[in-house]
Structure 1
Amino acid sequence: MTKLLLDYAALEPLLILLADGEFHSGQELGDHLGVSRTAVWKHLQKLEVLGLPLTSSRGHGYCLEGGLELFDSDVLRAHLTPAAREALTELELFPLTDSTNARAMAKAALGRGGYVCLAEQQSAGRGRRGRHWVSPFGKNIYLSLSWCFESGAAALEGLSLAVGVALVRVLKELGLPELALKWPNDVLCHRSKLAGVLLEMTGDPSGACQVVVGVGLNVDMPEPASTGIDQPWTDVQSTLRKEGLPPVSRNFLAAALISELLVLLKDYETKGFEAYRKEWLALDAFAGREVELRATDRVIRGRVVGVGETGALCLDVNGEQQFFYGGEVSLRAVS
Structure 2
Amino acid sequence: MMSHDQLLDLLRRHPNQYVSGAMMSEELNVSRTAVWKQIRKLEGAGYEIEASTRLGYRLVYSPDAISSEELTEARSSQRFGQSVHYYEQVKSTQDAARELAEAGAPEGTLVLAEEQTGGRGRMGRGWVSPQGKGIWMSMVMRPHVPIHCAPQLTLLTAVALCRSLRRLTVLPIGIKWPNDLLIHGKKISGILLESAAEDERLKYIVAGVGISVNLSERDYPEELLTKATSLRIEAGGAFSRSAIVKDFLAEWETLYDLFLQEGFSAIAALWESLSVSIGQKVRLITPQGELEGVPVGLEESGAIRVERADGSIVTIFSAEMGEPLSRS
TM-score by length of 2: 0.81
Aligned to 2:197: 203
Aligned partner letter, 2:313: Q
Q: Residue 80 of structure 2 contacts residue 250 of structure 2 at CA under 8 Å; is this kept in 1?
A: no
Alpha carbons of structure 1 residues 149 and 288: separation in structure 2 relative to 1, 3 Å: same
SS at match of 1:269: helix
Partner of 1:99: 92
Contact preservation (8 Å) 2:72, 2:82? no
Q: Is the 8 A contact 1:182 1:285 kept in 2?
A: yes
Contact 2:85 2:110 in 1 (8 A): yes
Separation (CA, whole Å) in 1 of partners of 2:80 and 2:135: 21
Q: TM-score, normalised by structure 1?
A: 0.80
CA contact 1:140–1:216 (8 Å) conserved in 2: yes
Equivalent-residue separation in structure 2 for 1:114 and 1:197 (angstroms)? 16
* Shift in CA distance, 120/97, structure 1 to aligned 2, threshold 3 Å: same
The alignment status of 1:311 with 2:302, answered yes or no, reads yes
| Residues 1:320 and 2:315 are matched in the alignment | no
Report how far residue 151 of structure 1 moved. Answer: 2.8
Q: Which residue of 1 aligns with 2:269?
A: 278
Instruction: Extract unaligned runs of 5+ from structure 1.
Output: 1-10, 31-35
TM-fit CA distance, 1:233: 2.4
Q: Is 1:179 aligned to residue 173 of structure 2?
A: yes
> 2: CA distance between counterparts of 1:105 and 1:128?
16
Distance change (3 Å), C-alpha of 1:284 and 1:127: same
- 8 Å Cα contact 1:87/1:263 also seen in 2: no
Moved more, 46-55 or 159-168: 46-55
**Counterparts of 1:95 and 1:19, CA distance in 2:** 22
Counterpart among 95, 103, 110 of residue 110 in structure 1: 103
Displacement of 1:152 after TM fit?
3.1
Match of 2:114 among 95, 117, 120: 120
- 1 CA distance for matches of 2:57 and 2:102? 45
Is 1:136 matched up with 2:130? yes
Report deviation, 1:100.
Answer: 0.9
Contact 2:84 2:111 in 1 (8 A): yes
Residue-by-residue CA offset, 1:69-115 (whole Å, 9 max, x unaligned): 0211222234311xx14444410111111111111111122232211
User: Which of residues 126, 136, 157 in structure 2 aligns to 1:163?
Assistant: 157
Q: Which has the higher contact order (CA 8 A, sep 6+)?
A: 1
Question: Residue 270 of structure 1: SS of its match in structure 2?
Answer: helix
Task: Confirm whether residue 53 of structure 1 aligns to residue 48 of structure 2.
Answer: yes
Deviation at 1:126, TM superposition (A): 0.7
Q: Identify if the C-alpha distance between structure 1 residues 62 and 70 changes in structure 2 by more than 3 Å, giving closer, same or farther.
A: farther
1:235 corresponds to:
230
Cα displacement (A) at 1:190: 2.1
